[in-house]
Amino acid sequence: MTYVKTPGGSESRQRKLEWRRAQALAVAAVLFAVFNLDPNASAAPLDDAAEHYRPYLVEGIGEALKGAQALQERVAANDLEGAQRAWLSARAGWERSEVFTSGFVPKLDQEIDAWPNATTGFHSIEAKLFGTKDITVKNDVDGLVTHLTELDGSVRKIALTPQGLLNGTARLAYEVGESKSDGGESRVSGTSLDDMRNNIGGIDFAYNTIFGAELEARDPKLAATARAKIDQLKALVAANDLTQIDVPTLRNVTEELVIAFQSAAPKIGLGPPSLEPTP
């Protein structure tokens, strides 16, 4: 998701996170200086692990594309309920893949999932199908299929760097607490809770597949902290509906997970992850 930060309380939360991030960066600098850590020391095992993430990514984007193609068919048939179901199916595959999308393919990410200024992609279609019950979305859906088709080709061959995937994992964790926990992103379709569940599933898979084993070998205590925070997030979003989520706790846990990733980075030979989307 490409999003615009909301005003108000999120500003103080962001300042708090930036302060804690500065602490993590200071620790990282000390580790590099005192222990003369080599930022490329873990490159080979992490490169191999990053490649193991590709089948999951291909599956998620493939599911999004299949759902968008079904949406295209249902729109052509003037089937509103069928189009809504197809949108939901496409959305699930996309949300599981967001560890990758904003950092590696930012232009496609903007076309497919910009929010809240959605003039194309998922949210433009959502506003019509679920908001005004308007099925005259052919042009938008055709564009979505085109962009997802391009992305489906890209994910099969693009280089998956461990640093880029760590950036994406940390950024997505931050977004879950910052802009999704209040239900704002997919409010019209009512799928924000599913968005968060699929996001956290993507974070979980990326951590386990790419970073977990290496961090466990180098700092078991920090690895246990990261694992515990992910499990806590999974438990929090297992609520029956969005109103039952403890939002302050969710936000705190996402902060703590981001800090854990930032602290872990130098231990596994990477730079601290950036929370800023690739321009």
pLDDT score of 180: 75
How many angstroms separate the CA atoms of 87 and 68, rounded? Answer: 7
- The neighbouring-strand residues paired with 114 are 2
Query: Rounded to an integer, what distance in angstroms lies between the CA atom of residue 203 and that of residue 170?
Result: 8
- Nearest-angstrom CA–CA distance, 69 and 63: 10
| Range list of H helices, the chain | 9-34, 43-52, 54-76, 80-96, 98-104, 106-113, 121-126, 138-154, 162-175, 192-206, 212-218, 220-236, 247-264
- 273: burial class by Cβ within 10 Å (0-12, 13-18, 19+)? buried
Q: What is the mean pLDDT of residues 12-40?
A: 50
From 50-54, 55-59, 112-116, 125-129, the region with the lowest mean pLDDT? 112-116
pLDDT one-digit tens code per residue, 221-239? 999 999 999 999 999 999 8
User: Mapping DSSP to helix (H, G, I), strand (E, B) and coil, where does residue 114 land?
Assistant: strand
In three-state secondary structure terms, 239 is coil
**Is a pLDDT exceeding 80 seen at residue 138?**
yes
Rounded CA separation 191/116 (Å)? 15
Give the integer Cα–Cα distance in Å for 151 and 102. 12
CB 275 within 8 A of CB 171: yes
DSSP 66-96: HHHHHHHHHHHTT-HHHHHHHHHHHHHHHHH
Q: Please state the rounded mean pLDDT for residues 178-206.
A: 84
pLDDT at 116: 67
Does the pLDDT of residue 36 top 70, yes or no? no
